[in-house]
Structure 1
Amino acid sequence: MTEGTPETTVLFVGRSNVPLWTLTPRAHLERAFRKLGAATFANASEVTMSSDAGDGPYIALWDDCAFDPPVIRALLQEPGPFLLIDDSGAGLAAKSNKANEAAAALDDPAVGLPARRVADLGSDYWHDLRKRAEPLALRVTETNRRAVEWRLFMGTYKGVTDVVTKHVWPWPAFHVTKFCARMGLTPNMVTLVSLIMVLAAMLLFAEGAWLLGLLAAWIMTFLDTVDGKLARITYQYSKWGNVFDHSIDLIHPPFWYLAWAWGVQAGPHSLEPSVYYASLVVIFAGYIIQRLIEGLFIALFKLEVHVWRPFDSFFRLITARRNPNLLLLTASALVGREDLGLLAVAIWTALSLAVHLLQLGQAAAATAKGQGLTSWLTEPQKR
């Protein structure tokens, strides 16, 4: 199902050969508009010179532009006519029911279409990525190309995620994602390699090969970042890819902990049976209940628990999910006490579960008082 207006025709003005994520900006824009709703593309000169050009809507834009998805959605969904301008007042894109008017306004703002800036489009809340940021909209030159590529890449990042994904992976993931794009690798290929790493880590943990297992585990978590960024930045995402990636993410963590526990019991620091089984019950039950709470929160309040209040977004950085738990396991392996890592994961899972239950209770209490729940990220940014 498309998100925009299928009959919208996109008219390109100019011809840029500056590479952008291994594509020309025009090819990148065509992929983006096609994914988000537009199906017809043409050179503006060919359409405006034709007597067959009917009513639009038409969107005319320079073919050396770079837009983040929220801008493209706004161009497709906002009623025209209007001229999207940059900070200098120069036109970036124009929308009108008349092809000639859209193309002319893009080249000459004096044509008179109402001018709007990106900030006027109301597109700074990125619902899919749980963040608020003014999206990118500018023309690409050889001088700013690298900065634009970085900015588009960071535009694919979720605003609310764990501490490793948010603060450690961006720089290396940018370069690996660009390498994958250059080599023609697809996101599903990257996800397949991450699945292999999931299985390798599980086997190595069970064998007590802690450092090798952690290496495989961290490679998997890194590739889990790369495949999503590659899909979004090159507009190769699909329903199957989403299911493939998220199914792996959802299922594998508790089995890593089980394999780790198995390895601990076969080593020199085995736990008392009662402590061992209690830890596994807490880890498995805690993980499952936490994920159920996340789903229940959405079902009841139409909102993700992690985007409700600033604290909820902060807690997502460190809550007992895969990457924070891997930090605990890594620290324990480095000091040679893998048993303590397992216990730390169990304790942190129990504490995190308590926080999530409290969040659920607070949301239910707020709703009972007639208070609607909204994300703090949807509040206007302070400038």
Structure 2
Amino acid sequence: MPTSTYIYIFGEDEITIWGLTGRERLARMLKPYPHLKFTGDAEKIPVSAQALFLNANFLFDARVLKALLEQDKKVALYNDEGCPAAILTDGSYAPQLLRNLNNNKDHNYKFALLTIPRIGLKDLKIDVQQNLKKKDPPYILPVSLENKPLLEKELFSGSYKGVTDFVTKWVWPLPAYWATHYCVRRGWQPNHVTYASVVFAVLAGVAFWHGLFGTGLLMGWFMTFLDTVDGKLARVTVTSSRLGDVLDHGLDIVHPPLWYVAWGVGLAGTATPLTGLGVLMTLMFLGYVGGRLCEGAFQFGLASFDMFIWKKLDSFNRLITARRNPNLVLLSYCWLTDQPDFGLLMVVVWHLASTVFLLWRVVTAWKIKLQGGTLTSWLQDIDPARDRDILAVRIFTRAPVDLRKPFPLS
């Protein structure tokens, strides 16, 4: 990667996607790269410097931008309709390229770049999205008023983890979509939503402590919903902060076991108090911490990826493993059936069972490594478009975007 790359953004960008114009979105997406320099004058790009021209009329996948910046040769990235989305060149050709762009009359920029090799998305090396535990087809999508709703749905759907719990995957997407839209219209930042989720997490714990299980569950579910919304809002608006990241992930780790302790204390004032609460809570903490340690041991000691994308079995396990949302389902069902004590017992048992399963997976992976084998994610071996007949591919990946027809929020 060169010492410095100049970014020149061309094209009209009056249409906003999730409140951002094409130029604003590109500027935010490229902000993490310290070697980039934005310029509004292509004539001033040094002759020997690398120059990346980006079309503001396209919605870019962040992986595409990263792959382009890693190129060490001149290329022009076109979409399937023959329009250039990005041109990677150098300062010596930048003025001529700018004149070609300015002389284009229909703003489709379907001009011939005779000296620059033409490539498509299939020519870029784009791998599994480790942070979102998924492998979706990359995209460069043209922006217009007609396809704006579909682009916003695509961007929102793309912000979801591919492998997660069943509530987050199938229950929250539609309401979270409309809630995220509301936040964008109101100008709310992701941190505002995170602060609200912290408040509801505390209120839910207080309600559980006092035996107000119904009220606590209502607040708890609302907190989990907000926990989904803040992440989606951050991704679709390309907004992040160190404080928000720490709050969001710290809250996710800390509050679940405290809720279960509070639930146990709350049972003391009901007709079904639990004996041996201290022993049960110790077992719960062992299961909770043990599960997290297994995940950490796998990712940082055995492989370079999350254990839930190792084999298809592990991805299916993530749908129901003992995390907050599946446990809340257990507590909610048992409260509705007037068995709050049994609900807590189920949570403890499910923690222990899930941790035993995760420990088995870690030991299995460790044995493979001892025998000289390598660990690879099942996502590495599939194509989301080609392998749609495989159940796991249909559940944990998305098909390529077709702007000619609507697609679900999943």
Q: What TM-score do the two structures reach when normalised by structure 1?
A: 0.92
Distance 1:122 1:304, change over 3 A: same
Question: What fraction of aligned residue pairs are identical, expressed as a percent?
Answer: 36
Q: Is the counterpart of residue 27 in structure 1 residue 30 in structure 2?
A: no
> How far apart are 1:53 and its partner, in Å?
4.6
Counterpart in 2 of 1:10?
A: 7
Given the alignment, which residue of 94, 115, 118 partners 1:99? 94
In the alignment, the residues of structure 1 paired with residue 299 and residue 45 of structure 2 have an alpha-carbon distance, to the nearest angstrom, of 49
Residue 308 of structure 1: aligned partner: 310
Contact 2:135 2:162 in 1 (8 A): yes
The structure whose residues are more often helix, as a share, is 1
Instruction: Tell me the residue number matched to 2:138.
Output: 135
Structure 1 stretch displaced more, 215-224 or 295-304: 295-304
| C-alpha distance in structure 2 between counterparts of 1:23 and 1:6, whole Å | 29
- The 1:329/1:34 distance shift into structure 2, 3 A limit, reads same
Aligned to 2:367: 365
2:172 is the alignment partner of 1:179: no
Cα distance in 2 between the residues matched to 1:346 and 1:290: 12
Count of aligned positions:
374
Q: Which residue of 2 aligns with 1:374?
A: 376
User: Greater CA deviation, 230-239 or 208-217?
Assistant: 230-239
Q: Distance in 2 between matches of 1:7 and 1:141?
A: 32
Q: Which moved more, 1:369-378 or 1:100-109?
A: 100-109
Q: Tell me if the contact between 1:22 and 1:181 (Cα under 8 Å) persists in the aligned partners.
A: yes
The match for 2:296 is 295
Q: 1:317 aligns with which of 316, 319, 338?
A: 319
Aligned with 2:82 (options 72, 78, 89)? 89
Which residue of 212, 215, 232 maps to 2:215?
Answer: 212
State the 1:266 CA deviation. 1.5
Aligned to 1:355: 357
Determine which structure has greater relative contact order: mean sequence separation of CA pairs < 8 Å that are 6+ residues apart, divided by chain length. Answer: 2
Cα displacement string for residues 276-309 of structure 1 (whole angstroms, at most 9, x for unaligned residues): 3332222111001111111111221133211111
2:61 — aligned with what?
Answer: 68
Check whether the contact 1:136–1:151 (CA below 8 A) recurs between aligned residues.
Answer: no
User: What is the deviation of 1:85?
Assistant: 1.2
2: CA distance between counterparts of 1:34 and 1:69? Answer: 12
Distance change >3 Å, CA 254–CA 185, structure 1 → 2: same
Contact (CA 8 Å) 1:162, 1:316: kept in 2 or not? yes
In structure 2, the residue matched to 1:117 is: 120
Q: Which amino acid aligns with 1:18?
A: I
Distance 2:31 2:24 in 1: 11
Deviation at 1:185, TM superposition (A): 1.6
Q: Which residue of 2 aligns with 1:41?
A: 38
Judge which range, 329-338 or 14-23, deviates more: 14-23
Change in Cα spacing, 1:37 to 1:172, as seen in structure 2 (3 Å) is farther
Q: Which residue pairs with 1:198 in the alignment?
A: 201
Question: 8 Å contact 2:19–2:237 — kept in the other structure?
Answer: no
User: Which one is further off, 335-344 or 175-184?
Assistant: 175-184
Deviation at 1:5, TM superposition (A): 5.8
Which structure 1 segments of 5+ residues have no match? none
Farther off after superposition, 193-202 or 170-179: 170-179
- Within 1, Cα distance between the matches of 2:50 and 2:272? 69
Distance in 2 separating the partners of 1:121 and 1:188: 34
The answer on whether the counterparts of 1:90 and 1:109 sit within 8 Å (CA) in structure 2 is no
Change (3 A) 1:38 1:211: farther
Question: Is 261-270 or 28-37 further displaced after alignment?
Answer: 28-37
Instruction: Report if the CA contact (8 A) 2:6-2:45 is conserved.
Output: no
Q: Is the 8 A contact 2:130 2:306 kept in 1?
A: no
CA shift for structure 1 position 6: 6.5
Structure 1 counterpart of 2:50, one-letter code: P
Aligned residue among 168, 173, 176 for 1:170: 173
Amino acid at match of 1:200: L
Compared CA separation, residues 206 and 54, structure 1 to 2 (3 A): same
